[in-house]
Amino acid sequence: MFSLPEACSKGCEEQVAWWLARLEKKPCHFRLQPAERSPLHAASMHGHAGCVALLLECGSFKVDETDQGGATAMAYACENGYLDVVQILSSYGARRTHLRDAMGGYFAFEAAAGHSHIVQWLAKIRDWCTPLHHASVLPVARVISLLRAGARLHHRKRDPTKLCVSPLELARENTEGSEASQASQACRLVVLASQPWCALNHHLFPDPLRRLAKWLALLGHHLSQRYGRQLADIWRMCVIPMVVDRQQCRFRAGSQVPSKVGHYLKIHQFAERLQWGA
């Protein structure tokens, strides 16, 4: 059984997951000698993308943490030519400037000077500013998690000199035209999440909106029992998509179903007691 830093340097994902499950998201103080590198630096230096993803997902490691020499994990990934590691670090918001304090700055493309494939990818993502911009290189499970957490599909970098691309526009580029056959499932999910609410994309909406949709469906069911089946179809295809709007709804994590829905239910119950439409 290796220690956490050793498991990261050797790419033992099962042991890394075992250690992280026992850390319970507490800050980790494991170091490797003699360069004083964290487990994240060790995994990035040796190109173990799976270990890097596990470390960042647990929340105990800062993506831009520097070692004794002032280097970040991104610096090691760029210098050693590990594109998959660079992509994961970038998706978690790793900075692409000042990768080594000891060298007076050091940009990502300078660190990757000997690896043209990384330089080209860094140039491509210059305007990417959110995790969802990286959907084409992310696992499906993480894209779903981002969408359910309320990731903004139309967010773009502010640049007065040009119009930067949004996550949704990138996803559409990867699912249309000649590249459609090569489009990842994750990009298709981003496009699906941008469409009006329906049963197919219900699982991609944030939790408050999913609860709202369930409440509205319940209300529509009660109304259809009173006023006919056709009302249920109209309710499902028109009313719920109009109310459950990802772009216009503003919510916070843990927020409850809007109180208006409760009022609608009370009004319906009151109308039943008065025998409306009898």
* Interatomic CA distance for residues 213 and 128, integer angstroms: 32
Q: Please report the pLDDT score of residue 247 as a whole number.
A: 75
Which helix (DSSP H) or strand (DSSP E) does residue 252 occupy? Answer: none
Q: Please report the pLDDT score of residue 216 as a whole number.
A: 86
Mean pLDDT in each 10-residue stretch from start to end of the chain (278 residues)? 83 86 63 64 91 89 83 87 92 80 60 81 87 90 92 85 85 71 78 92 92 87 81 85 77 48 52 45
All structural domains of the chain with their residue ranges: 4-126, 134-193, 209-274
Rounded to whole angstroms, what are the CA distances from 257 to 112, 216, 253, 262, 265?
A: 49, 10, 12, 8, 13
Distance of CA 273 to the CA centre of its chain: 47
Q: Please report the pLDDT score of residue 222 as a whole number.
A: 83
Q: Please report the pLDDT score of residue 105 as a whole number.
A: 55
Q: Which pTM was predicted?
A: 0.78
Evaluated on CA atoms 32, 79, 166, 157, the torsion sign reads positive
Q: Please report the pLDDT score of residue 174 as a whole number.
A: 84
Are 67 and 41 in contact by the 8 Å Cβ rule? The answer is yes
* Interatomic CA distance for residues 78 and 115, integer angstroms: 8
40 pairs with which residues across the strands? none
Are 77 and 89 in contact by the 8 Å Cβ rule? The answer is yes
Rounded to whole angstroms, what are the CA distances from 154 to 38, 68, 133, 150, 151?
A: 35, 39, 10, 12, 9
CATH code for 4-126? 1.25.40.20
